[in-house]
Amino acid sequence: ITSPVHRWWRSTSFPSQIPSLCPSCPHNRNQNPERDRGGEKQQQQHHHQMDPAAEMDTGELDALLRAAADFASYPGTHGEDTVRQFLEQFPLPKLLGVLQSQADLPETVETVAACLDKVFSSRYGASLLPSYGEFIQAGLLTNSNSIKQLACKAVVHLLDKAGDIAVAVDTFVQHNLYPLLINCLVEGDEEISAIVLDAIKRLAEIPTGTDIIFPPDGQGLQLNKVAAQSSSMGTDSHSIFDS
């Protein structure tokens, strides 16, 4: 992988470059009680494992990949307690570190991405996403289809299940996610475009979210791209903004 975006993805360390990872940090307190109940173990792993992307030994990596494959292959949605227990054994920083360190292995990336999608589709997993806005941003920019699709789905889960809408919208603003979604809409394949349209529709249903789509300064010129892509996919673009 030689593109600048891929080099950026490979060199970005999660979560040590994300200031709001730890629920106990002062700037992140009381934002999401659900996330605060994630358990002491997850918090301790944040404080003692500041370089989650560091190489794991072969046995540890194999165990993680087997567990990720099993977790991803489970039919239906995992229970909240199951997700918590899985993340206690395989914390998000470690799973994201595998996406980085194994980026040249498509099958490995696909397995971990499918596992993370299962994690984020739970309410507990989605409640952690505001702390991983930089991951979503990098994922939307990468050329890896599996990671980009995961990032797009993470946006949907963020808006649908994160619990605190104000924090979800703030994540959008802080990490400038809307323009990146528009790029994915225009440049992505049909599946990614459909996920992005779903995310934009959900954003439009949030009162404060409409300010992102229709900025007060009137510079929301990217909406013509949404309409064009919706039309090409056989979607009524007006329905995106129906409440």
pLDDT digits (tens, 9 = 90+) for 22-41: 333 333 333 444 444 444 44
pLDDT in tens, 70-92: 999 999 889 999 999 999 999 99
Q: Is it true that the peptide bond before 15 is cis, omega within 30 degrees of 0? A: yes
pLDDT digits (tens, 9 = 90+) for 112-127: 999 999 999 999 999 9
Higher-confidence residue of 143 and 12: namely 143
Each residue of 136-176: pLDDT tens digit?
999 999 999 999 999 999 999 999 987 788 899 999 999 99
Burial class (CB in 10 A: 0-12, 13-18, 19+), 207: exposed
Distance between CA atoms of residues 92 and 89, nearest Å:
10
pLDDT at 180 over 80: yes
Range 98-106 average pLDDT: 90
Lowest model confidence (mean pLDDT) among 18-22, 45-49, 53-57, 76-80:
18-22
Q: What is the mean pLDDT of residues 185-212?
A: 91
194 pLDDT higher than 90 = yes
**Rg, C-alpha atoms of the chain:** 18
Question: Helix/strand/coil (H, E, C) string of the chain?
Answer: CCCHHHHHHHHCCCCCCCCCCCCCCHHHCCCCHHHHCCCHHHHHHHHHCCCCCCCCCHHHHHHHHHHHHHHHHCCCCCCHHHHHHHHHHCCHHHHHHHHHHCCCCHHHHHHHHHHHHHHHCCHHHHHCHHHHHHHHHHHHHCCCHHHHHHHHHHHHHHHHHCCCHHHHHHHHHHCCHHHHHHHHHHHCCHHHHHHHHHHHHHHHCCHHHHHHHCCCCCCCCCHHHHHHHHHHCCCCHHHHHCC
Rounded to an integer, the average pLDDT of 228-232 is 53
Identify the top-confidence range among 162-171, 184-193, 208-217: 184-193
Share of the chain above pLDDT 70, in %: 66
Q: Binning pLDDT at 50, 70 and 90, where does residue 178 land?
A: very high
User: So what's the pLDDT on residue 234?
Assistant: 53
Rounded to an integer, the average pLDDT of 47-60 is 58
Q: Taking the model in full, what pTM does it have?
A: 0.72
| Mean pLDDT computed over 173-193 | 93
Distance CA 145, CA 192 (A): 8
Of 37 and 194, which is predicted with more confidence?
194
pLDDT band at 226 (very low <50, low <70, confident <90, very high): low
What sign does the dihedral 91-47-80-18 (CA atoms) show?
A: negative
Report CA 3 to chain centroid distance, whole Å.
21
